[in-house]
Structure 1
Amino acid sequence: MKSLGMGGLFAATLIAAPVAAQETASAPAAIVLPEPAAPSALMLPRDTPVHLMVLNEVSTKDHDAGHRFRLRVDKPVVVAGRTLVPAGTPAWGELTEAESSGNAGKSGKLSARLTHIELGSLAIPIEGGTTADGKSGKGETLLGVLAMGPLGLFAKGNNAKIKAGEKMTAFVAEDTQLPHAP
Structure 2
Amino acid sequence: MRRILFPLGLSAILVTPVSLADTIELADGTLLEGTFVGMSNGIMMFDTGAGIEAFPEDEVVAIFNSEGVAAREAAQEAVPAPKAEPAPPPPPKTATVASGTRLVIRMSEAIDTRRHSSGHRFRAQLESALMVDGVTVAPRGTMLYGRITQAKSAGRVAGSSEMAIEFTDIMLNELMYEITTDGLKAQTGNEAGRTAKRTARAAALGGLYGGSSSAKKGAKVGVGASILTSGASINIPAGTLVETNLRAPLTVKL
Please state which band the TM-score falls in when normalised by the shorter chain: 0.5 to 0.7
Aligned sequence identity (%): 24
Residue type of the alignment partner of 1:176: L
Shift of 1:92: 1.5
Match of 2:14 in 1: none
- Asked if 1:115 corresponds to 2:168, the answer is yes
Residue 123 of structure 2 contacts residue 145 of structure 2 at CA under 8 Å; is this kept in 1? yes
Task: State the TM-score, normalized to the length of structure 2.
Answer: 0.47
Match of 1:171 in 2: 245
Q: What does 1:1-182 correspond to in 2, within 5 Å?
A: 40-119=93-172, 120-134=174-188, 137-138=191-192, 140-141=194-195, 157-178=231-252, 180-181=253-254
Shift of 1:88: 0.9
- For the aligned residue pairs, the C-alpha RMSD in angstroms reads 3.5
CA gap 1:35/1:94 in 2 versus in 1, 3 angstroms = closer
Q: Distance in 2 between matches of 1:98 and 1:61?
A: 9
C-alpha distance after superposition, 1:116-144 (max 9, x if no partner): 22222131413122222357655642999
Residue 54 of structure 1 contacts residue 163 of structure 1 at CA under 8 Å; is this kept in 2? yes
Where 1:84 maps in the other structure, the secondary structure is strand
Residue 60 of structure 1 contacts residue 98 of structure 1 at CA under 8 Å; is this kept in 2? yes
More helix by share: 1
Structure 2: gaps of 5 or more residues: 1-76, 78-86, 199-229
Residue type of the alignment partner of 2:233: N
Residue 45 of structure 1 contacts residue 175 of structure 1 at CA under 8 Å; is this kept in 2? yes
Residue 149 of structure 2 contacts residue 163 of structure 2 at CA under 8 Å; is this kept in 1? yes
C-alpha distance after superposition, 1:53-100 (max 9, x if no partner): 111110011101110111111110112111111111111211111112
Residue 127 of structure 2 contacts residue 140 of structure 2 at CA under 8 Å; is this kept in 1? yes
Task: State the TM-score, normalized to the length of structure 1.
Answer: 0.63
Residue 148 of structure 2 contacts residue 163 of structure 2 at CA under 8 Å; is this kept in 1? yes
More strand by share: 2
Select the structure with the greater relative contact order (CA < 8 A; seq sep ≥ 6): 1
CA gap 1:95/1:45 in 2 versus in 1, 3 angstroms = same
